[in-house]
Structure 1
Amino acid sequence: MGIMKIEHLDLFYGDFQALKNVNMEIEKNEITAFIGPSGCGKSTFLKSLNRMNDMVAGCKITGKVTLNGQDIYKGMDVNDLRRRVGMVFQKPNPFPMSIYDNIAYGPRTHGIRNKAKLDEIVEESLRNAAIWDETKDRLKKSALGMSGGQQQRLCIARALAVKPEILLMDEPTSALDPISTSKIEDLCMELKKSFTIVMVTHNMQQAARISDKTAFFLLGEVIEYGNTDQIFSMPKDTRTENYISGRFG
Structure 2
Amino acid sequence: MSRVLIVDDEEPVRALLASTLRFAGHEVVEAGDGIAALACLEPGAPGRDPDLVVLDVMMPGLDGFELLSVVRRRGVELPVLFVTARGAVEDRVRGLRAGADDYVVKPFSVAEVTARVEALLRRAGTTTTDETLRLADLVLDPVAHRVTRGGEPVELSPTEYRLLEHLLRNAGRVLSKSQLLEHVWGYGFGGTNVVERFVSNLRRKVDADRPPLIHTVRGFGYTARVPE
TM-score, structure 2 length as denominator?
Answer: 0.30
Greater RCO between the two (CA within 8 Å, min separation 6)?
Answer: 1
TM-score, structure 1 length as denominator?
Answer: 0.28
Rg larger for: 2
Judging by fraction of residues, say which structure has more strand.
1
